[in-house]
Structure 1
Amino acid sequence: MTIFLAPISHWQLGPLYYDASQRQLADTKQQLYLEPRQHQLLMCFLQTPGQVVSRDTLIMQVWQGRIVSDSAINRAVSLLRKAFSRLDNTHNYIETLPKLGYRLQLPVEMAAGETSVSTRPMIKLYRAPVLLVLVCLMLLFMAMLRPKSLEHSEDVMLLHIPSVPVTSFNGAEFHISIDRAGTKLLYHRTTDNSHTQLWLHNTITKQHQAVSDPLEDIRYGRLSPDGNQIAYVRYDDQQCQLILLHLPDDVSPLQDCPLDSVPQLIWQGDSRALYYRQRTNKTQPYHIFRLSLNSGISRQLTLTAVNYTGEGDIALALSETTQQLAVLRYNTAHSRTLLLLDSESGAVQQQHQINLAVSQLYWHGERLLLIAGSNLYQFTPQQFSLQLIYRAALPINSVALTADQLYYSSNERRASIWRKYSDSSSGAVIESSRIDSLPRIAPNGSTLVFLSNRGGHYQIWQQQQEQQPAVLAELPGEPAFARFSWHPDSSRLLLVKDGAAYTISVPDGVVKKILPAHSQIAVADWDEEGAGLVYSTVRDGDWQLWHYDLNQKTEKWLLATDGYSGRIWQGQLYYTRYHQDGLWRMSIAGGESELLLPNLDKINWLNWQLTEGRVYYYQPGNGIYRYDIQTSQQEKLMAQTGHFAHHYSVYNDQIYYVKLEPAQGDIFRVALSNTNKLKQNQEKITRAP
């Protein structure tokens, strides 16, 4: 069964509104966020209001054809009913028809514009044709004045096509690639010892075969277009090497690679060269390189501006049709620059801004497919058009394409928060079906706050004593990275997000901005008394540390160069640098800096603590340590575990830390011929009188 879904993401359902882009269900006073499964279920009902939806249809549309039990379907419907009743308990939204299925009972209307919690009524466009014409003319005029950038088109119908599972193993299959003939599909699987192993799937015989040693730690593999070679990265004893495997078992090293770099490999169409991204270390942006397999010579193709502070070139794809190299360059958490380059010289031929958090891109003929979360977009360079063409149930990890088939890996991780006690015992304190991370325990031990996406997007949650976790506050601005820390008196949090600083009172969750976004704050913490904050910024061209007095509303410079995160204790500034490992100390009154801990890794800007003369920090690959400033003694508090993410907080030698649970996900297949056919039918429908 094929269903056309309109990309208009705002719906009015009786007295409730649903914003499908945010998975937000709301009335005029409050809102809640649906889990992905309930979102898919509701979208299926919204497309067929008043009609009976069978269980078979739900399995195809919501579970993508997987075999699921009746109890799983019943539970999903029950959770959606509970969501409706929390906002409106006067109506029965979903009717159960025994042996037939379910039916949405209330009238459904597609609504235009943004849905928000507001008392203003929504404007029905079909009731206001004059207003619609005026709005369209105004938008057209504004578009003519606006710089060229690509937003995804809102007048394109979203195609939901049943996908066929290719794998269904326990765990996750990810980072897929396929040969030109479409007979060999390469993918990665995590082994029992937490290493990554390469597997090949024969699309003709449907057989799966491991092609790498499960004891080796192998990542970022890519199958060559001719299907005879695999390029991958091997990690061994703190060494990183780019390896070439001539199938079935002829292995030859190509070159070393930086341990701080996360490569992404693609092949040249003739299988004689590799393109890849690489950075020197975490403080440097990614650039694109080309490695000739014949000569062994590697050549850099892209450069970033001297004052560039983003991640650099985060994804790449090579067209066999036009020989263009497409590169995604990170701008902000919500925008990318799409560069089309000459694949030999690296010369920029086209440049476009895309206002989406795109993570991957792939050529298919003369068009590009872009991945942003669970969404798949199509970009046509000749027409400068961006269209949403597919939405998966889970975030898409990677895509592999043939002439008529699209394969994608879709998976999701779960993270929980654990506590390690002083007697070395440990146990989970925060668990959910989603990602709970960045724990911060109050200085008095009364409240634990953390980030969680269990509400459909990231929010700040709190757990007081042994009570149930609850939402503390919404993150201001657009979805993006956030960092927060406790005030010394445990009354409020300092939040840094999008370059701005905020305070959040606890437990009522009132958010107040104290420094604007143009401050360009990277890392900030309270000073020793809690009367101000120490923050780093790169707004003047190099990393500097500043102090902001909350009472006087004044700023004071602390460190002119290379200061990335700082704490104050007993009149001394303790700080880390952006470009160099180590912890330094300097008098606030001025003077020379002193190196205290040369082995404190740069990544500790996220977590290191200074509490009553003790520094707590993370040593990659080893665990969490404590350093006593007065005695200069170091002590390991917790050894690193297999699934430890370096998010932690320490209170009285109790360590709250994040444990990543094994990812779950599979590979799916979609027939591109069906996609093209549906698109042709859609165009006919659009042109029909």
Structure 2
Amino acid sequence: MTIFGIMALIKTIISLYMSHVYKFNKWSICTESNQLRSNQKLVNLEPQAMAVLAVLLKSDGLVVSREQLIEEAWRGAIVGDSSVNRIIAQLRKILGDDAKNSQLIETIHKKGYRLLQPVTKIAAKDLRTDLGIVLAYREKLTWLMGVVFLIAIAFTIFQYNMAWDGQSKKLSPVVKLTHEKGYEYDVDISSDGKYLVYLSKKPETAYADLYVKSISHEVSWKVDSDSSNLFSPAFSPDSQSIGFIKSSDDSCAIFQLSVDDIKDKKFIPTTLYECDPKLPPVSFKWGAENSTIFIAQEAAVEAPNQIVKVNLNVGTSTPITFPASSSWGDTYFDVNKQNGKVAFLRKSPYKQQLFVLDPKSKNLEEIPLNVWGTKSVSWLEKERSLLLASKNSISTLDLDKLITKSVFVGNNIDQAIADTNSGKVVVVEKLLQADLMTYSVQEGKNRKLEDTDSLDRAPIYLTGQKQIAFVSDRTGKQQIWIAKANGEIIRQLTDVMNDYSFFSLDWSAQNKQLIAWELDRNQIWVFDFEENTFRMIFESESLLMFPVFSTSENLITFGSNKSGDWEIWAIDRDGDNLQRLTYSGGFYGKFDDNHQQLFFTKYHDKGVWRKNILLNSTEPVITQEPRQDYPWWQLHGDAIYIERGLLEESGIYRYDLDGKFQSIIIRNAVFSGKRFSFSDDFQSVVSSEYGAMQGDLKLFEFKTD
């Protein structure tokens, strides 16, 4: 048994020792691990759903009111009926219950919910773990934990003093592989687990450099980049060569270098495949053989990305995936070096899907799991096992059992890739930094309010308060902070314990409330300055974007794909009375002062649109081509202020409500889609400026079951 196996056993024993396990109907339920088991079926429940189920399990068959559920399961946060309804519906589906003819969870009209079947606690001796060990009574666990703990210490000392390959120490669970200043990304690991290839972008350079690194030795080789745009490096199946894409405005090709030549500092690449510069690939991987590669590229100009298989022996290319025109296409993929199967992610404005394709049989299998937010996919040593990386965690996925298991927790994870033979996993974590900036309307000058290493973003002036609210990770977790208009910190406004990702803020001067959009959980939170409370008022099963107060401040508008396409929706200030406002697309919208016109941005069309509420008609207002797809804009009084980037005249432009240009408010300022906010006197704008991206590669090892 490895040290990781011993630590996993200790963790399992401690979890079982402290756990509360219940028997309900055919299910064994462990509230601490968020797991339900029935025969051979294991279900991982989301924490909020388990919190609700735990309250019901402890109620002894009595009716539990909605108020009690919210108080105990949501810890007093004020949530709408939709949140409770969603969790109850989810529990019924998992437990195999029917709301119309309930046998397990009964709805008592205007009172709450109760369980219809008896609940009993299970003794530890009756619980069989995934390790196949029937545990003794809890009284014996203390002795067992002590023995295992002593074995773990002895084994750790033994492993620490062992040499690896005769030269370096045994790798610890998480090892930092790179220490260069800059950002390391686009990593691949050789099939023999000995080498890495990756790109490194330094703050002072325009292009990234290509590196090959020995994992077991502190040795790396820099490949001369020729001041060119290199990306998507990958190892060949035999680990003897690397390939990479090199492109410019008029040329594009995939090149090959042997690892031995790189060690000898011979950087003379040979052309592997000529690409169409009009349809350049965005990523590439080798297949199971050196003669086959796969590339992700546009099917046509401005069409979704598709994966193409290239036979290098005969020079033919064949598309193997065919995404719908409404999706963004297939970009993130990995090829199983043993059987040639391709696992890939397909993303659209509405959802993200995971597929496994066998190019030989052309069998396409959609994996029925919610994989929204997954950044990368990589094959493990099993033919039916994948490694999935999301923003804050890395998980394994058993494709047969559809069971995911978290193996790594981090921050801002961008990629994870596994060596299918050794169990080594390389993680790319990116560290973002941003500072608050103010721009003077009259002088046209900008000023950095505070120079920090933290990520300070989404600033907004609090009208009438002469203060700025913003999101910052300066304490390790993203919290909302308050500063004076000159940047002097006043206080930390929130103290949320979990890893929440607040992405945008909006202010209600009348009610002295601040809206916060939680990106990962699709939630809307409100901080009440008078009550000094921070609570969630709305949670969506679908994606949502940019909640803002309406001008009357009685409604909150936001974008959501609840109906399939992105539209503007609204709720009241308590998070109730959900209503749909648009039927032609939209993801950010704001009412005018009279509440008669809704101005909004569509997801698929550039510019700003207007809906007349009384006439129920929609028309474009600002249609000129902006510098980017989704520029930020603000509605104030009788004018629209929008970020533009027309040649040298970049800045904030003012238009009237009919879309007629009036003036340039701030010149020569590039906001790149970042939110900006005006001060009370309209003489200053606050935004955020991102610094150079930082990040190192990390490595850990694990063995899948």
Query: What is the match of residue 96 of structure 2?
Result: none
Alpha-carbon distance between aligned partners in 2 of 1:331 and 1:573, rounded to the nearest angstrom: 26
The one-character-per-residue Cα deviations of 1:630-678 (angstroms, maximum 9, x if unpaired) are: 761352725466x9773433433533232333333334556x6xx66xx
Alpha-carbon distance between aligned partners in 2 of 1:428 and 1:188, rounded to the nearest angstrom: 31
CA spacing shift, 1:455–1:530, aligned 2, 3 Å: same
The one-character-per-residue Cα deviations of 1:35-62 (angstroms, maximum 9, x if unpaired) are: xxxxxxxxxxxxxxxxxxxxxxxxxxxx
Query: What is the match of residue 222 of structure 2?
Result: 209
Match of 1:648 among 658, 673, 676: 676
Query: What is the match of residue 269 of structure 1?
Result: 288
CA spacing shift, 1:387–1:539, aligned 2, 3 Å: closer
Question: Residue 254 of structure 1: CA displacement?
Answer: 0.7
Question: Residue 188 of structure 1: CA displacement?
Answer: 0.6
One-letter amino acid matched to 1:504: F
Q: Does 1:177 align with 2:188?
A: yes
**Bigger mean CA offset, 578-587 vs 474-483:** 474-483
Alpha-carbon distance between aligned partners in 2 of 1:269 and 1:431, rounded to the nearest angstrom: 49
Match of 1:661 among 688, 691, 702: 691
Structure 1, unaligned runs of 5 or more: 12-108, 113-122, 126-130, 684-689
Alpha-carbon distance between aligned partners in 1 of 2:523 and 2:422, rounded to the nearest angstrom: 47
Query: What is the match of residue 664 of structure 2?
Result: 635
Query: What is the match of residue 467 of structure 2?
Result: 447
Alpha-carbon distance between aligned partners in 2 of 1:171 and 1:270, rounded to the nearest angstrom: 34
Secondary structure (helix, strand or coil) at the match of 2:494 reads strand
The one-character-per-residue Cα deviations of 1:50-93 (angstroms, maximum 9, x if unpaired) are: xxxxxxxxxxxxxxxxxxxxxxxxxxxxxxxxxxxxxxxxxxxx
Alpha-carbon distance between aligned partners in 1 of 2:311 and 2:588, rounded to the nearest angstrom: 41
Match of 2:602 among 577, 600, 604: 577
Secondary structure (helix, strand or coil) at the match of 1:574 reads strand
Alpha-carbon distance between aligned partners in 2 of 1:253 and 1:619, rounded to the nearest angstrom: 37
One-letter amino acid matched to 1:343: P
Identity percentage of aligned residues: 15
Alpha-carbon distance between aligned partners in 1 of 2:517 and 2:456, rounded to the nearest angstrom: 18
Alpha-carbon distance between aligned partners in 1 of 2:432 and 2:675, rounded to the nearest angstrom: 14
Alpha-carbon distance between aligned partners in 2 of 1:587 and 1:394, rounded to the nearest angstrom: 41
Query: What is the match of residue 168 of structure 2?
Result: none
Query: What is the match of residue 515 of structure 2?
Result: 494
Query: What is the match of residue 598 of structure 1?
Result: 624
Q: Does 1:399 align with 2:428?
A: no
Q: How does 1:279-678 map to 2 (within 5 A)?
A: 288-293=307-312, 294-301=314-321, 303=323, 315-328=332-345, 338-344=354-360, 346-349=362-365, 351=367, 353=369, 358-366=374-382, 367-372=385-390, 376-381=394-399, 386-389=404-407, 395=413, 397-399=415-417, 401=419, 403-404=421-422, 406=424, 408-422=426-440, 423-430=443-450, 432-444=452-464, 446-465=466-485, 467-468=488-489, 470-473=491-494, 479=500, 482-489=503-510, 491-497=512-518, 498-499=521-522, 501-506=524-529, 509-511=532-534, 517=540, 521-546=544-569, 558-569=581-592, 571-590=596-615, 591=617, 593-600=619-626, 603-604=629-630, 607-619=632-644, 623-629=650-656, 632-635=661-664, 637=666, 639=668, 646-651=674-679, 652-668=682-698
Cα-Cα RMSD = 5.0
Is the 2:185–2:199 Cα contact (8 Å) retained in structure 1?
Answer: yes
CA spacing shift, 1:137–1:462, aligned 2, 3 Å: same
One-letter amino acid matched to 2:178: T
One-letter amino acid matched to 1:559: T
Is the 1:409–1:665 Cα contact (8 Å) retained in structure 2?
Answer: no
Structure 2, unaligned runs of 5 or more: 47-127, 132-147, 157-170, 258-267
Question: Residue 582 of structure 1: CA displacement?
Answer: 1.4
CA spacing shift, 1:413–1:479, aligned 2, 3 Å: same
Is the 2:237–2:289 Cα contact (8 Å) retained in structure 1?
Answer: yes
**Bigger mean CA offset, 165-174 vs 474-483:** 474-483
Is the 1:523–1:536 Cα contact (8 Å) retained in structure 2?
Answer: yes
One-letter amino acid matched to 1:635: I
Question: Residue 593 of structure 1: CA displacement?
Answer: 1.5
Question: Residue 244 of structure 1: CA displacement?
Answer: 0.9
Question: Residue 476 of structure 1: CA displacement?
Answer: 11
Question: Residue 441 of structure 1: CA displacement?
Answer: 2.0
Is the 1:173–1:409 Cα contact (8 Å) retained in structure 2?
Answer: no
Query: What is the match of residue 143 of structure 2?
Result: none
Which TM-score applies when normalising by structure 2?
0.63
Question: Residue 558 of structure 1: CA displacement?
Answer: 4.4
Match of 1:243 among 235, 253, 258: 253
Alpha-carbon distance between aligned partners in 2 of 1:320 and 1:646, rounded to the nearest angstrom: 41
The one-character-per-residue Cα deviations of 1:560-601 (angstroms, maximum 9, x if unpaired) are: 212332223354432221111112344443246243242236
Which TM-score applies when normalising by structure 1?
0.64
**Bigger mean CA offset, 575-584 vs 161-170:** 161-170
CA spacing shift, 1:446–1:363, aligned 2, 3 Å: same
Alpha-carbon distance between aligned partners in 1 of 2:542 and 2:397, rounded to the nearest angstrom: 35
One-letter amino acid matched to 2:38: M
CA spacing shift, 1:455–1:212, aligned 2, 3 Å: same
Alpha-carbon distance between aligned partners in 2 of 1:209 and 1:668, rounded to the nearest angstrom: 19
Query: What is the match of residue 144 of structure 1?
Result: 38
Alpha-carbon distance between aligned partners in 1 of 2:608 and 2:401, rounded to the nearest angstrom: 52
One-letter amino acid matched to 1:232: I
One-letter amino acid matched to 1:221: P
Question: Residue 436 of structure 1: CA displacement?
Answer: 2.4
One-letter amino acid matched to 2:621: L
Alpha-carbon distance between aligned partners in 2 of 1:9 and 1:330, rounded to the nearest angstrom: 39
Alpha-carbon distance between aligned partners in 2 of 1:392 and 1:553, rounded to the nearest angstrom: 35
Secondary structure (helix, strand or coil) at the match of 2:630 reads helix
One-letter amino acid matched to 2:561: V
Query: What is the match of residue 124 of structure 2?
Result: none
Match of 2:244 among 204, 226, 231: 231
CA spacing shift, 1:457–1:596, aligned 2, 3 Å: same
One-letter amino acid matched to 1:453: D
Is the 1:522–1:536 Cα contact (8 Å) retained in structure 2?
Answer: yes
Alpha-carbon distance between aligned partners in 2 of 1:543 and 1:389, rounded to the nearest angstrom: 34
One-letter amino acid matched to 1:615: I
Alpha-carbon distance between aligned partners in 2 of 1:530 and 1:222, rounded to the nearest angstrom: 53
CA spacing shift, 1:584–1:351, aligned 2, 3 Å: closer
**Bigger mean CA offset, 159-168 vs 184-193:** 159-168
One-letter amino acid matched to 2:230: I
Alpha-carbon distance between aligned partners in 2 of 1:317 and 1:336, rounded to the nearest angstrom: 16
Query: What is the match of residue 197 of structure 2?
Result: 186
